[in-house]
């Protein structure tokens, strides 16, 4: 009797070998490709540790005193105007503000210690996977958001005879829309993060067709949903059959586009390392074994995909998806030189077939002209930061008819607009306005009227902004 061997197909080399299951991505790797896979995960952990150290240093240098907050000054002014009648109320309000601020600081410091212990454990034991890395990355983003936007309270005035009574309220109870120049309208989602048809769970890439219908990569619901114009809920047009790698399933899709020639849906099925096509509920794999994040299609029907494993953008001719594609940006190893990329995410292709790439870990947007051997920096590229010449983990990128470049400056919770050749960009959405708050913006898209649509990732919604040029 022949001895039974435990051989399966390696997801990378496609050869029947003794393989090992990765608990994070649920894929089988041979020993050689498993080593490469672990190396990629180690690089991801290294980036998270660097981000943690940089943020901790900034926190320690800029840690505010609760007594310096502007809310205290407002309370003091109110106290002077109302004199004796409101002195007791002022003392009460001060105590609430100071306690809230101190609690926020204490919470962040505690989270620092907890996250530090987890980072040390992962490094020492070398036992982690994609799920662990995504958790660490999200925890660090939440901590940064708590630090840069520490105040979760504000002052509400209620007119009364002789005095204006005040109380401390949560900002979450305020109306969503303010008086900013770019008041937002929620077009899809915004009903908490679950999986009903009127809800989204961490949306990423979006696509707007000529009828203003919105196609959304509903990342954590593992599905693509379409929201008709002015609809109250969406409809599932791909996936939605739980997370998995069967042909009718998706796993953490990050982007979606519509092939205008045959009206099929093309999806970056990142969790399954493939690009798939859905047409009238029939599915096929277009490109396999690619850790794809962003998709684009030019006017000639060429398909473009960013590949985070090879740190490149590749192009395929329609119907010829069985090859490895042609590298049209990056592909020269991971780095920050002009011919390199570091974890490319969303992409945009213009009328001249120039490619705009969100170069995530280099905190910049690169433009590669057709057949160019290297790119040029058109946004960011001055290190990670919040200044007008900087970006922090950019995601969505799109270019308007005036060749202005719009970037989802994800970790800064804002949308930036850059003109090519300029040293600085300008904030068009986000920042300090009341009516345009974002939390880790991702995909961007325009409709034919020039309205900007933003996938508001942590708020689980799609926002529409009428821009003032």
Q: Are residues 52 and 197 in the same domain?
A: no
Q: Residues 181, 455, 331, CA angle at the centre, nearest 5°?
A: 120
Q: How high is the pLDDT of residue 176?
A: 37
Q: Are residues 129 and 253 in the same domain?
A: no
Question: Does residue 64 form part of some domain?
Answer: no
C-alpha closest to that of 446 among 397, 411, 413, 409: 397
CA distance 426 to 405: 11
For position 274, which CATH number holds? 2.120.10.30
C-beta of residue 436 within 8 angstroms of C-beta of residue 186: no
Q: Are residues 396 and 313 in the same domain?
A: yes
Domain total in the chain: 3
Question: Does residue 204 form part of some domain?
Answer: yes
- pLDDT tens, residue by residue, 46-79: 888 887 887 787 777 666 555 555 667 777 776 7
Beta-carbon-side half-sphere exposure of residue 428 (alpha carbons within 13 Å): 24
Q: How high is the pLDDT of residue 468?
A: 63
Q: What band does 186 get if pLDDT is binned at 50, 70 and 90?
A: very high
Q: How high is the pLDDT of residue 320?
A: 85
Q: How high is the pLDDT of residue 65?
A: 58
Question: Does residue 73 form part of some domain?
Answer: no
Q: Are residues 15 and 106 in the same domain?
A: no
Across 95-117, average pLDDT: 80
Across 144-163, average pLDDT: 63
- Tally Cβ neighbours within 10 Å of residue 220: 18
Structure tokens at 239: 């996936």
Q: How high is the pLDDT of residue 181?
A: 45
What domain range includes position 37?
7-57
Across 333-337, average pLDDT: 94
Q: Are residues 230 and 103 in the same domain?
A: no
Q: How high is the pLDDT of residue 175?
A: 35
- pLDDT tens, residue by residue, 207-232: 999 899 999 999 999 999 999 998 99
Q: Are residues 260 and 325 in the same domain?
A: yes
Q: Are residues 131 and 193 in the same domain?
A: no
Structure tokens at 187: 């077009």
Tokens 């739980």 found at: 242
% the chain with pLDDT above 90: 47
pLDDT of 356 > 90? The answer is yes
Q: Are residues 462 and 394 in the same domain?
A: yes
With the CA atoms of 330, 334, 339 and 343 taken in that order, what torsion angle do they form, in degrees rounded to the nearest 10? 50
CA distance 52 to 112: 9
% the chain with pLDDT above 70: 85
- pLDDT tens, residue by residue, 267-320: 999 999 999 999 887 899 999 999 999 999 999 899 999 999 899 999 999 888
Paired strand residues for 377? 366
Question: Does residue 446 form part of some domain?
Answer: yes
- HEC profile for the chain? CCCCCCCEECCCCCCEECEEECCCCCCEEEHHHHHHHHHHHHHHHHHHHHHHHHHHHHHHHHCCCHHHCHHHHHHHHHHHHHHHHHHHHHHHHHHHHHHHHHHHHHHHHHHHHHHHHHHHHHHHHCCCCHHHHHHHHHHHHHHHHHHHCCCCEEEEEEECCCCEEEEEEEHHHCCCCCCCCCCEEEEEECCCCCCCCCCCCCEEEEEECCCCCEEEEEHHHCEEEEECCCCCCCEEEEECCCECCCCCCECCCCEEEEECCCCEEEEEEHHHCEEEEEECCEEEEEEECCCEEEEEECCCCCEEEEECCCCEEEEECCCCCCCCCEEEEECCCECCCCCCECCEEEEEECCCCCEEEEEHHHCEEEEECCCCCCCEEEEECCCECCCCCCECCEEEEEECCCCEEEEEEHHHCEEEEEECCCCCCEEEEECCCCCCCCCCEEEEEECCCCCEEEEEHHHCEEEEECCCC
Maximum C-alpha span of the chain: 99
Question: Does residue 353 form part of some domain?
Answer: yes
- Of 29 and 148, the one with more pLDDT: 29
User: Please, what is the average pLDDT of the chain?
Assistant: 84
Question: Does residue 72 form part of some domain?
Answer: no
Query: Domain end: 146, 173, 200, which one?
Result: 173
CA distance 45 to 133: 6
Radius of gyration of the chain (CA): 24
Q: Which of 131-140, 378-387, 393-402 has the lowest mean pLDDT?
A: 131-140
CA distance 158 to 169: 12
Question: Does residue 121 form part of some domain?
Answer: yes
C-alpha closest to that of 397 among 361, 439, 445, 350: 445
Q: Are residues 240 and 385 in the same domain?
A: yes
pLDDT of 159 > 60? The answer is no
pLDDT of 455 > 70? The answer is yes
Across 424-450, average pLDDT: 83
269 burial (CB, 10 Å; 0-12 / 13-18 / 19+) is: buried
Tokens 């990355």 found at: 137
Query: Domain end: 134, 153, 173, which one?
Result: 173
Across 121-132, average pLDDT: 80
CA distance 389 to 285: 40
pLDDT of 1 > 50? The answer is no
Query: Rounded to whole angstroms, what are the CA distances from 169 to 55, 81, 157, 384?
Result: 29, 21, 10, 34
Q: How high is the pLDDT of residue 5?
A: 53
Q: Are residues 295 and 350 in the same domain?
A: yes
> What's the pTM?
0.66
pLDDT of 42 > 60? The answer is yes
pLDDT of 2 > 60? The answer is no
Distance of CA 389 to the CA centre of its chain: 20
Q: Are residues 21 and 106 in the same domain?
A: no
- Of 61 and 336, the one with more pLDDT: 336
Q: What band does 467 get if pLDDT is binned at 50, 70 and 90?
A: confident
Q: What band does 110 get if pLDDT is binned at 50, 70 and 90?
A: confident
Query: Domain end: 151, 173, 195, which one?
Result: 173
Question: Does residue 2 form part of some domain?
Answer: no
Q: What band does 418 get if pLDDT is binned at 50, 70 and 90?
A: very high
Distance of CA 359 to the CA centre of its chain: 13
- pLDDT tens, residue by residue, 77-98: 767 766 656 567 767 777 777 8
- Of 77 and 371, the one with more pLDDT: 371
Q: How high is the pLDDT of residue 180?
A: 34
pLDDT of 156 > 70? The answer is no
Q: How high is the pLDDT of residue 56?
A: 81
Q: Are residues 189 and 44 in the same domain?
A: no
Q: How high is the pLDDT of residue 461?
A: 94
Across 250-255, average pLDDT: 95
């Amino acid at each position: 009797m022949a001895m039974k061997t435990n051989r399966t197909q390696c997801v990378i080399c496609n050869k029947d070998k003794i393989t090992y299951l990765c608990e994070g991505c649920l894929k089988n790797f041979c020993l050689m490709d498993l080593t490469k896979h672990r190396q990629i995960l180690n690089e991801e952990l290294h980036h998270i540790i660097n981000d943690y150290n940089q943020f901790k240093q900034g926190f320690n240098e800029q840690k505010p005193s609760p007594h310096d907050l502007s809310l205290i000054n407002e309370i003091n002014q109110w106290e002077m105007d109302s004199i004796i009648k409101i002195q007791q109320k002022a003392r009460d309000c001060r105590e609430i503000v100071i306690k809230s601020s101190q609690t926020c600081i204490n919470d962040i410091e505690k989270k620092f210690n907890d996250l530090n212990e987890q980072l040390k454990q992962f490094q020492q034991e070398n036992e982690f996977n994609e799920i662990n890395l995504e958790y660490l990355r999200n925890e660090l983003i939440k901590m940064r958001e708590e630090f840069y936007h520490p105040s979760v309270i504000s002052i509400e005035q209620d007119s009364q005879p002789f005095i204006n009574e005040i109380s401390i309220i949560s900002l979450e109870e305020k109306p969503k829309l303010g008086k900013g120049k770019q008041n937002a309208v929620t077009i899809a989602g915004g009903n908490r993060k679950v999986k009903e048809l009127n809800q989204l769970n961490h949306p990423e890439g979006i696509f707007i067709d000529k009828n203003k219908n919105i196609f959304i990569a509903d990342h954590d619901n593992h599905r693509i949903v379409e929201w008709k114009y002015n609809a109250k809920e969406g409809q599932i047009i791909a996936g939605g059959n739980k997370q998995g790698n069967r042909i009718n399933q998706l796993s953490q899709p990050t982007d979606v586009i519509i092939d205008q020639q045959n009206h099929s849906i093309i999806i970056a099925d990142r969790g399954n390392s493939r690009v798939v096509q859905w047409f009238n509920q029939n599915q096929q794999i277009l490109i396999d074994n690619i850790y794809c994040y962003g998709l684009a299609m030019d006017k000639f029907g060429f398909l473009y995909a960013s590949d985070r494993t090879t740190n490149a953008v590749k192009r395929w001719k329609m119907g010829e998806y069985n090859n490895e594609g042609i590298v049209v940006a990056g592909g020269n190893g991971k780095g920050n030189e002009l011919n390199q990329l570091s974890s490319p995410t969303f992409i945009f292709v213009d009328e001249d077939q120039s490619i705009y790439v969100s170069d995530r870990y280099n905190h910049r947007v690169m433009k590669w002209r057709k057949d160019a051997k290297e790119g040029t920096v058109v946004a960011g590229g001055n290190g990670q930061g919040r200044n007008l010449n900087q970006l922090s983990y950019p995601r969505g990128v799109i270019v308007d008819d005036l060749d202005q470049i719009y970037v989802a400056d994800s970790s800064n919770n804002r949308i930036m607009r850059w003109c090519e050749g300029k040293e600085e960009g300008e904030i068009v959405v986000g920042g300090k306005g009341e009516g345009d708050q974002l939390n880790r913006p991702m995909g961007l898209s325009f409709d034919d009227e020039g309205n900007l649509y933003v996938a508001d990732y942590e708020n689980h919604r799609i926002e529409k902004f009428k821009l003032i040029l």
